[in-house]
Every structure is written in C-alpha cells, then in structure tokens.
Structure 1
Amino acid sequence: MRWRKSHDAPMEDEDPYWKSFVDIMSALLVLFILASVVLILQLMEKSADFDQQVEQLKKAETVRQQILDEAVEKLRQRGIKVEVSENHTVLRIPNELLGFDTGAFEIQPRYQQTALEIGEVINQVISQDDRVNYLDTIFIEGHTDNRPFPGFMGKGNWGLSTFRAISLWQFWSNEMPEAERLNRLSNQDGEPLFSVSGYAETRPVSKQQDGEEDYRLNRRIDIRFTIRRPQSADYEAVKTLLGNSGQ
C-alpha cells in the first residue's frame, strides 16, 4: 500500500503581534471617539451657558436704560431737570439742583427737598419688578471743576468732590422714609448696592474750562449704574473649549 504525500502545507497561525496591534488601535479609536463625544457635549453645554449669559447681559443693558429713562421722565414731571450721559450709564445731577457753594459740601436747606425727590425717584425706578437683580453697583460720584482748591487739609478738589458725594448719600440715608432708604438695597452677591466716590476734576464733562459755563457743567454729582456681567471664567471656559475643538 502506497501513501501519497500531500503537497499542501498547513496554514500558519496569524501573527500574534499584528493581532495585538490591531486590538490596541481599535481600543484607541474607541477612546478617541468617546473623548470627542465628551468634548462635544461639554462644548454644547458651555455654549448654551454662554448664550444664556449673553442674553442676561442684553437684558441688563435694557433694564439700565429703562431705569435711566424713567428717572429722567419722573423727575421732569416734578420740574427737576437732570441729564443722562451719552453712553446711557449715568444720571447726571447738575450742581444748581443741590446748591453746593464754592468750597462747600453741605446740602443747604433750600435744596434739600429737591435732593429728597431725586432719591425717591431713584428708589422707585430701581425697586420696580426685579431690576435690582440686574445691577452690580450704583456709584454716587462727586466731581469738581479744575480750579485749584486748597482746603480739606491739603486734599483739595479730591476731598471736596468726595465730601459732596458723601453728603448726598448721608442725606438720603437720614431723610428718606425708612422703607425707601437706598442703603437697604443689596446686589445678588449680598453686597451694598450703592457706593460713594470722588473724582475731583479728573473726569470733566467739558474738557475746555475757560469760563463759568464750563465750570458749571463740571461741578456735578453723577449717579453711575453698573450692571452684572458674566464672570471672565465663563468666557475663558468657552474660549478654551472652542480652541480645543479646532485642534
């Protein structure tokens, strides 16, 4: 009996190293896909939050404009003429409404009723609805003209402008009805809504001061309304994610 020798050689097993490499690459691909999905979800979440913050900012801008416009109109109806700055952030009270004498900072009796009504109107327009929630700080700012003033123990116009702002704030705090006093108000961080500062002659309305009219414009109290803005970290988070998604 003759055995026939087969010419067919058995097939070798697959290279185990190649198989391991394929498995590793497959696992890495899955991880890459999962990481991409997570990144996309994070980006969508941050983008949605960013859009919401932008909408809140737009709403705050609208609320501030409403506050200023309504304050001007309510005061006009009472015969009190105030102004709004060009960028619509400041309620400007000219010195003739408060009657500060040269070098003086106390509100004289004949001007106190006007000062009281200004405070009452400010309380009305910011206490309406939920407007306070859109505000960060309201600054009572004192300003002077650029003529040198040697008083206040050498503090000059800096001291004069600051004391005038303080006088108005203290007058409101003492004379307004307790339920309407502005010092009762806080922003969303629980901090006092109002703050007081003096700028001397450093922020003039009329930069050219050649006569009494220019001096008059610069002697004033400004009520500056600042609004709540998204935290810078929110912007940076979205910016980082957008940058990563493009790599």
Structure 2
Amino acid sequence: MFAARQVSNRGGRDEAEKPFWISFADLMTALMVMFLIVMGVALLAVTKDGKKHEDEITKILERFEEAAKRHKGITVDKDRQVINFGERAQFAFGDWRLNADQEEVIRKFVPEIVALANEELGKSILKRIVVEGYTDKKGTYLSNLNLSLQRSQRVVCSLFATTGPSLLSKAQKEDARSLFFVGGYSFNAAKDTAEESRRVEMRLEFLGIGERRASPPVSDGNFGDCALR
C-alpha cells in the first residue's frame, strides 16, 4: 500500500511538469522563428541599402565623367575612381611647380567638382577628394615621397591663388578648403613613361552607408599664403 502511494505520487509529479516543458519548447521555437524573421528583414534592408549606395556612386562618377568631357585632356577612371589631368598637368623632372596654363586648367575644372559636390547627390555620397601627386621611378624613395607631396600641395595652392586667370570665387575657395585634401604617392602606380608618371590625380572618396559628410570648418576668409614658391 505504501509502495502504491509512491508510484502514484511520482506519476502526479511527472504530469505536473509536462505542461511546463512543452510550453518552454514552444517558447524557444517561437523565439527562433522571430529571430529568423528579424535577421531576414535586416539582411534585406542591408542589401537594399548597399545596392542604392553602389548606384549612387556609379551615378556621380558618370556626372564627373560628363563634366570632364567639357575639358580637353581631363578624364575620369571610374574603376579607380580618380580624375586624371594627363598631359594638362604634368610636371618637369624633379620639379613640383605648375606653369600658369596648367594652373588655369585645374582652376577651370575645380568649379565643376565643387558644383557636383554641392548637389543633393554629391552631399549624400561624396566624402572628400584627395589630390595625389606622383613621380617617376628615378631618385630615392624618400626624396620622391617629398616631391610627390609638394606636387599635391602645389595643385591645392593653385586653387587659392589671388592672381592669374580663372580665379575661384571666395565661396568656391571655402568649398575647396573643406573638400580637398593633400596626399602623396611617390612612384607607386607609375605609368609607361617617366613623363606620364609625373602627374597629378584627384581621387574621389565616398561616404559609407549611413555616414554623413563632416560639417565644413568655421572660416574667417583668410586662406593664407602658399609655402611653396
């Protein structure tokens, strides 16, 4: 009789526990389904945003390409995402200076860059433009690195010139100050000839998904003087 009572009690305890474990399993299943749904929606959103981002980059590169066609000798490499000035802005051996005609070519094209950067598409996708100077393979690495930086700096300095043809307006200079950065790449990515290698390019850098362009710095309108003479 005592043994029978023991069996009966154990059976009752098992019956009481069963509903709990069944509910817990159902809860875990429901949570897993919800997790999969959320992940699926998130992946779909990321894929959609990524496609939109790529389309916007393609679109603005095409606009830069159209603008370049209006200026002889300037081209846009959409694969490398750079603006190449070619023979219109080549440097003499060992020199970082540009002549007046070369500076005018750059100053005539930069307003096109600024205008595109200030459009709604440009504001949403274009982060900055890095001016990159290159050298040929002659000379040491460090001397060429310094030379390439000087070439990049000279190009940026030409944008803020106060004398000469096709000068930028004050507003365009303000935009250029916040948009253009100086970079140097020595003889990396050298071209087929030494003359072609001694060049300047403008590399377009784009915002990441969800990233916003930094606000321009507060300016007093005094851009200073170029250190290179």
**Smaller-chain TM-score bracket:** 0.7 to 0.9
Instruction: Give CA-to-partner distance per residue, 1:51-106, whole Å, 9 cap, x none.
Output: 2321232223322322331222121xxxx212233615111112x42353322212
- CA separation of 1:126/1:74 partners in 2, compared to 1, >3 Å: closer, same or farther? farther
- CA separation of 1:27/1:176 partners in 2, compared to 1, >3 Å: closer, same or farther? same
SS at match of 1:223: strand
Unaligned runs of 5+ in 2: 1-7, 162-166, 211-229
Partner residue of 2:154? 167
Asked whether the equivalents of residues 61 and 78 of structure 2 are also in contact (C-alpha less than 8 Å), the reply is no
Which amino acid letter does the alignment assign opposite residue 64 of structure 1?
I
- CA separation of 1:86/1:51 partners in 2, compared to 1, >3 Å: closer, same or farther? closer
Higher alpha-carbon Rg = 1
Q: Residues 175-186 of structure 1 correspond to what in structure 2 (within 5 A)?
A: 175-181=167-173, 183-184=174-175
Out of 107, 111, 124, which is 1:120 matched to? 111
Q: Determine if the alignment matches structure 1 residue 92 to structure 2 residue 84.
A: yes
Asked whether the equivalents of residues 144 and 218 of structure 1 are also in contact (C-alpha less than 8 Å), the reply is yes
The 2-side partners of 1:106 and 1:124 are apart by 27
TM-score, scaled to structure 2: 0.74
Instruction: Give CA-to-partner distance per residue, 1:147-173, whole Å, 9 cap, x none.
Output: 116xxxx94111111111111112213
Q: Percent identity?
A: 15
Query: How many residues are matched?
Result: 198
- CA separation of 1:176/1:228 partners in 2, compared to 1, >3 Å: closer, same or farther? same
The 2-side partners of 1:107 and 1:33 are apart by 70
SS at match of 2:190: coil
Out of 65, 84, 88, which is 1:69 matched to? 65
Which amino acid letter does the alignment assign opposite residue 18 of structure 1?
D
Which amino acid letter does the alignment assign opposite residue 42 of structure 2?
K
Q: Determine if the alignment matches structure 1 residue 83 to structure 2 residue 83.
A: no
SS at match of 2:147: helix
CA RMSD of aligned residues (A): 2.7
Asked whether the equivalents of residues 114 and 176 of structure 2 are also in contact (C-alpha less than 8 Å), the reply is no
